[in-house]
Structure 1
Amino acid sequence: MLGFVVPGTSLKDRYRLGRFPLAHKGMGEVWSAHDALLDRPVIVKFVSPAMSDRDVVRRFRREALLTARLDHPGVPAVYDLGEHAGQPYVVLQKIDGITLTDLLAEQGPLPISWVAAIGAQVSSVLLAAQQIHLVHRDIKPSNIMLDTHGAAKVLDFGLAVIRDDERYSKITQTGQSMGTVGYMSPEQILGEHTDHRTDLYGLGATLFDLLTGHPPFDGVTTMTTVRHQIADPPPRPTQRRPDIPRAVDDLVHSLLAVDPDDRPDTAAEVYALLAPLARELPPIPGVLTDTVEAVQAYAAIVGRVPRPALLTSPTTSALAASDLEQSLEEAEHLHAAGEFRAAARRWRHLATQHEQLHGENHPLVFDLRLRAARAHIPLGEHGRASRQLDALLQERLRAAGPEDAVVLALRREIAHLMAQRQRLPRSRSDGPAADR
């Protein structure tokens, strides 16, 4: 049965609808259409009359505006916003591809390289979202598409919020779930404060699904699933698929930590670990139309991470030499006093600021990140420390080659650290707090 619009309807004498709606999703209908002005295919999403109360219309417009705010190749472009017969609609970029949910149903668990390629691209989107203080709050396989070129696209910003922006941050939730059980973070379940680490949890659950073919929490009922999410230690994908690299297993485990403080600080850490693994991507028959080489090149471009310097606000973009010296002293005092986590955060923040001033290749940027990584060792967070050290190793390896003295020293340090981790009791080295 067709909805309130009919095939062939022309909107603004420009967008001509196709023969039938593609889907009924959420608040309305989704149609394929043709943009006559620019001669290109588009998607038109409507609010249906049955759902068109004032609050739904407001949320629909809000989603379109939020999607438009996030200017990133990993998010469908918003082309237009209008109204037809009293019903709002939004015109979006058409994505030729498949959702990750359907991809898993067809292919089963994905090759490690493809999981890394998809995860790195989604991390890039999340980092761009963090820069404008946007939290998606519904990252899951059905809200991510893989297009025919191998590019990942994050969809559906209906639950997103922007911190401290009244135009976007308030939303009435009458009859609407605040996320998806099994993928929504514990803080969402409990109605607590959410931030960019909430989306990292959803990404972790999605990566677990891609690696194993199963969601991380799949209780018999909704209540048992929620109980596992809140009360149990996060699972490890190697429990279902032993061939997963240890670094990837540690990453997913830490992303699923119950406490947001136990997750990686930003999506940049996730990208740094996954991007180097997105190599030698095998074909996915029936999904990808380009050659593997073209797919890999395109994925590398789309999966880029914005410069970390952009994460700083204009008021903190300049760091005077005296301020730097004082901040370094403060970080050293924090470390000496046993405030290792606070010291690590201070060093990471200083690295970001210094990179903005002097570029990513400045020696002090590397040194500050090295100090931040090592600060997690006395906390027993060997997984997190080794991930950060490995990211620095890969950066130095690309810049100086395998025989560089710093490269050799980092290799020895990481090997020693992993050996220590193997000797530690599980409660200290592998628990929820271990991989911060």
Structure 2
Amino acid sequence: MSLKDRYTLGRFPLAHKGMGEVWPARDTQLDRAVIVKFVSTARLNADLMRRLRREALLTARLDHPGVPAVYDFDQHAGLPYVVLQKVRGITLADLVAEQGPLPFQWVAAIGAQISSVLLAAGQIGLVHRDIKPSNVMLDPSGAVKVLDFGLAVVRNDDRYSRITETGQALGTVGYMAPEQILGEPSDHRTDLYGLGATLFDLLTGRPPFDGVTTTTTLRHQLDDPPPRPAQLRPGIPDDLDDLVHALLSVDPRGRPATAADVYRVLAPLSHDLPPIPGVLTDAAEAVRAYAAIVGRVPQQTRPTARTPAEPNALDMDLAARRAEQLHAAGQYRAAARQWRHLVDQRVRRHGDDDPLVFDFRLRIAGAHSALGEHSRALRQLQQLLEDRVRADGPEHPAVLHLRQEVANLSARHRPSGRTPSADR
């Protein structure tokens, strides 16, 4: 079949996805492979036709290398269709099914690229609402493409109002955020939850919530504490384990504030990418593709110049107060994350031995202790004690105080009989 005497469809569809059919095709005018997405004739109705048009408009608005380009939108015999860039590669769902859990460096590199897409989406108020492994593809060069904006919404824009079918779930069980399950409004943190569930899947080879039935899965998502990938796969870096745990917070306020915050954790872990046989063409090429796609994005989301010292000091003071408020409210994970960010800022300006760096590190350990992660808090206190002795000597009052903190925490932790790995 030919569309507009330009697009020649293949003999068979690639898949039936959601509301329609996906066909391979060739753009004879530009001599390139494309994808054509139709509304299924068996399910054709006015709502689905509007929804396909809406998906095309939203995808076209999101000009980012991590999103397939939209080439055309039209109708054929009364059926609307959209012509999209053909993406080579494999979905993350198929990748995990074939390879099992991925190297954590690749999980970080993939997650950083998805974060860059979410950053761009946030700039136009777009919420995808269906981030999951089957909606993300990995190109043979290591580049990521986020697919299927059929459930996306744009905040405060009536042109892209919610369009659904009767009885259709707004998301995918096990990956959609609790606020989606409850029918509450979605924002950018909804996509961060989907990203967290996706990273958990890539790290462990299974979704974070997987009940016997849909109802039990949803109940686990709403009622159970977020799982930690390190419980299933020891050896995951603490920062990555913490990030995934925070992304899966039931309360959106417990998740990272923005995709930029997620990127800042993932990007440093995306080094020394190992080969993935049969999937990637070349690891070095993958590194270059990754750098080209995500390296520039976070810098575009914030001002690059902050020359006066006074405003920066004021911002740090406000951030420290915010961390205190989070801790006082029992949001220990978010408080620890805020203090860790303050440590990074302070070290860059004043060095490792700055008194406030020691103070923030002590507060981070206290937050992990409050979370019940005693062995981790103890490791942090012991490292802090070593650094403080080196900087101030063994008899400094702060050193003596730290020795007492270490002794107290050791005494509280010893009777529990738990091993350090249990708190990871």
Q: What is the CA–CA distance in structure 2 between the aligned matches of 1:214 and 1:365, rounded to whole Å?
A: 45
Greater CA deviation, 413-422 or 225-234? 413-422
SS in 2 for 1:20: coil
Alignment check: 8 A CA contact 1:99 1:142 kept: yes
Question: Is the Cα–Cα contact under 8 Å of residues 386 and 418 in structure 1 kept in the other structure?
Answer: yes
Give distance in 2, aligned partners of 1:208 and 1:421: 23
Using the TM superposition, give the Cα deviation of residue 230 of structure 1 relative to its aligned residue in structure 2, in angstroms: 0.8
Secondary structure at 1:41's aligned position in 2? strand
Q: Report which stretch shifted further, 278-287 or 23-32.
A: 23-32
Deviations 1:95-132 (A, max 9, x none): 10111100110111111111111111111111111111
- Counting aligned pairs with the same residue, the percent is 62
Name the amino acid aligned to 1:145: M
- Tell me if structure 1 keeps the 8 A contact 2:332–2:370: no
Residue by residue over 1:119-146, the C-alpha shift from the partner in whole angstroms, topping out at 9 and shown as x without a partner, is: 1111111111111111111111111111
- 1:417 matched to 2:363: yes
Q: In the alignment, which residue of structure 2 is the partner of 1:243?
A: 235
AA of the residue aligned to 1:424: A
Query: What's 1:348 paired with?
Result: none
Separation (CA, whole Å) in 1 of partners of 2:50 and 2:266: 38
| Ranges in structure 1 where 5+ consecutive residues have no aligned partner | 1-8, 311-351, 431-436
* Offset of residue 367 of structure 1: 3.7
> 1 CA distance for matches of 2:353 and 2:21?
58
2:285 pairs with 277, 294, 298, which one? 294
- Aligned-pair RMSD on alpha carbons? 2.6
Contact 1:32 1:44 survives alignment (8 Å):
yes
For residues 253 and 24 of structure 1, the distance between their equivalents in structure 2, rounded to whole angstroms, comes to 33
Q: Helix, strand or coil: the match of 1:45?
A: strand
- Using a 3 Å threshold, how does the CA distance of structure 1 residues 256 and 174 change in structure 2: closer, same or farther? same
Asked if structure 1 preserves the Cα contact closer than 8 Å seen for 2:339 and 2:364, the reply is no
Out of 323, 331, 350, the residue aligned to residue 405 of structure 1 is: 350
Total equivalences in the alignment:
371
Please name the residue that 2:277 is paired with: 285
Which is further off, 255-264 or 418-427? 418-427
Give 5+ residue unaligned stretches, structure 2: 377-424
| Paired residues of 2:368 and 2:374 also in contact (CA < 8 A) | no
Aligned residue for 1:384? Answer: 334
Q: How does 1:144-159 map to 2 (within 5 A)?
A: 144-159=136-151
Q: What is the CA–CA distance in structure 1 between the aligned matches of 2:54 and 2:213, rounded to whole Å?
A: 33
Query: 1:326 aligns to what?
Result: none
For 2:197, the aligned partner's letter is: A
Which amino acid counterpart does residue 263 of structure 1 have in structure 2?
A: R
- Which one is further off, 384-393 or 83-92? 384-393
- Map residues 33-432 of structure 1 onto 2, 5 A cutoff: 33-289=25-281, 291-304=282-295, 306=297, 355=303, 359=305, 363=309, 366-367=312-313, 370-374=316-320, 375-377=322-324, 379-380=326-327, 381-391=331-341, 405-409=350-354, 412-413=358-359, 415-424=361-370, 426=372
* Cα distance, 1:390 vs structure 2: 4.5
Distance in 2, Cα, partners of 1:182 & 1:230: 11
Q: Matched residues in 2 for 1:427 and 1:395: separation?
A: 25
Segments ≥4 residues shifted beyond 6 Å: 427-430
Any idea what SS the aligned residue of 2:326 has?
coil
SS at match of 2:277: coil
Partner of 1:12: 4
Match of 1:331 in 2: none
Q: What is the alpha-carbon distance in structure 1 between the residues aligned to residue 307 and residue 74 of structure 2? A: 47
Closer/same/farther in 2, CA of residues 284 and 393 from structure 1, 3 Å limit: farther
Which structure has the bigger radius of gyration?
Answer: 2
- Structure 2 counterpart of 1:384, one-letter code: A
Would you say the 8 A contact 1:271–1:305 is kept in 2? no
User: 1:121, 1:304 within 8 Å by CA — same for their partners in 2?
Assistant: no
Task: Identify if the C-alpha distance between structure 1 residues 422 and 306 changes in structure 2 by more than 3 Å, giving closer, same or farther.
Answer: closer
Measured in 1, the distance between the counterparts of 2:135 and 2:27 equals: 25
Partner secondary structure for residue 16 of structure 1: strand
How far apart, in 1, do the equivalents of 2:244 and 2:280 lie? 26
d(CA) in 1 for partners of 2:267, 2:341: 10
Distance 1:140 1:364, change over 3 A: farther
Per-residue deviation at 1:11? 1.7
CA contact (8 A) 1:273 1:387 kept: no
Deviation of 1:221 (Å): 1.1
Rounded Cα–Cα distance in structure 1 between residues aligned with 2:309 and 2:30: 49
C-alpha distance in structure 2 between counterparts of 1:283 and 1:427, whole Å: 34
Structure 2 contact 47–165 (Cα < 8 Å) conserved: no
With over 3 angstroms needed to count, the CA separation of the structure-2 counterparts of 1:419 and 1:127, relative to structure 1, is same
Pick closer, same or farther for the CA change 1:424–1:395 going to 2, 3 Å: closer
1:391 Cα deviation after fit: 4.8
CA distance in 1 between counterparts of 2:310 and 2:199 reads 33
The residue aligned with 1:344 is: none
3-state SS of the aligned residue for 1:379? helix
For residue 233 of structure 2, what is the amino acid of its counterpart? R
SS in 2 for 1:81: strand
Any conservation in 2 of the 1:16–1:33 contact (CA below 8 Å)? yes
For residues 62 and 199 of structure 2, what CA distance do their matches in structure 1 show? 22
Secondary structure of 1:250's counterpart equals: helix
Give, as a single letter, the amino acid of the residue that structure 1 aligns with 2:350. Answer: A
How far the C-alpha of 1:264 sits from its partner, in A, is 1.1
